[in-house]
Every structure is written in structure tokens, then in C-alpha cells.
């Protein structure tokens, strides 16, 4: 199973499940058209309420990552990776903007942040 949840993680359980399935889809671990585990199976595997998985699947469907066919199961949709990348790009830009603002209060410059990123690049 490609999903791991933890009570120590402050995020709600349903969100942890949702994020990890989303990641698996985006990274291609789950092919478009392939079927997801049934809600009941995944609930049993993760020792979690059915309702929690149900909510994760519903949210994924609302965000267009999967489609659920009653009686058949849930399937990964064929989504446009370029569009997803652009959306993520915007999201990251917003978060960077916020971080810059946070740093500004403490006299931390954008250059300091660029320096950190360059270090991270070399480490990897």
C-alpha cells in the first residue's frame, strides 16, 4: 500500500490520505484509468473509519483526480500534467511571496533565501 498515515501528523486523517493518493497520481505511480483500492479495503488496511476514506475519495473526485463509478469502484482520471504543473507553480509562487513577507519582518532578505535554495540544490 502506498499510503501511510500517522496520528502524530497534525493534519486530519482524510487529508493525509488524500494528499498521498494525489502525490501517487501526479508522480505516475498510479496510471490513468487504473483502479484504486475499494473504500472498505483501504479503510481496513489503514485501520481507519470507512467514512474517513470516503471523504478523501470524494475530495479527490471534486478536484478531478479520480472518478467514482458506483458499484464498480474508483479510477484515476487522465489529467493534463502540464496544467497541473502550472497550477503548482502558481501555488509555490504564492507561498514564496508569503515567506518573503515573513522574512522581511526579521530583516531576512530575498538574497538570503536564494542562498538557502542554492545550498539545498548542492546538497541534493
Question: For residue 98, what are the contacts with CB-CB under 8 A and spacing of at least 6?
Answer: none
Instruction: Establish if 77 lies at the interface with DNA (CB under 7 A).
Output: no
**How far is CA 69 from each of CA 34, 66, 73, 113, rounded to the nearest angstrom?**
13, 10, 5, 46
Name the binder of 57 from a copy of itself, DNA, none, CB < 5-8 A by kind: DNA
- 84 to 103: interface string for DNA, x by CB under 7 A: --------------------
Measured from the CB atom, is 50 or 92 closer to DNA? Answer: 50
CA distance 12 to 9: 8
* Torsion sign over Cα 103, 107, 111, 114: negative
User: How many Cβ atoms sit within 10 Å of the Cβ of residue 63?
Assistant: 11
Q: Confirm if 113 and 103 have CB atoms less than 8 A apart.
A: yes
Cell of 92: 509555490
Among residue numbers 2 through 41, which ones bind DNA (CB under 7 A)? 12-15, 36, 38-41
Name the binder of 121 from DNA, a copy of itself, none, CB < 5-8 A by kind: a copy of itself
What does the binding site for a copy of itself look like in residue numbers (CB under 8 A)? 7-8, 12, 23, 26-27, 62, 67, 69-72, 75, 81, 84-85, 88-89, 92-93, 95-97, 99-100, 102-103, 105-108, 110-114, 116-118, 120-121, 124
Measured from the CB atom, is 61 or 84 closer to DNA? Answer: 61
Output the smallest distance, CB 33 to a copy of itself, in A: 10
Amino acid at each position: 500500500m502506498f499510503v501511510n498515515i500517522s496520528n502524530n501528523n497534525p493534519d486530519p486523517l482524510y487529508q493525509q490520505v488524500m494528499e498521498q493518493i494525489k502525490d501517487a497520481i501526479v508522480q505516475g505511480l498510479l496510471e490513468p484509468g487504473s483502479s484504486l483500492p475499494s473504500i472498505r479495503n483501504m479503510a481496513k488496511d489503514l485501520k481507519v473509519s470507512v467514512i474517513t476514506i470516503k471523504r478523501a475519495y470524494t475530495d479527490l473526485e471534486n478536484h478531478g483526480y479520480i472518478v467514482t463509478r458506483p458499484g464498480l469502484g474508483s479510477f484515476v482520471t487522465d489529467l493534463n500534467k502540464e496544467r497541473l504543473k502550472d497550477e503548482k507553480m502558481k501555488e509555490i509562487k504564492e507561498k514564496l511571496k508569503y515567506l518573503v513577507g515573513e522574512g522581511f519582518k526579521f530583516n531576512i532578505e530575498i538574497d538570503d533565501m536564494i542562498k538557502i535554495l542554492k545550498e539545498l540544490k548542492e546538497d541534493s
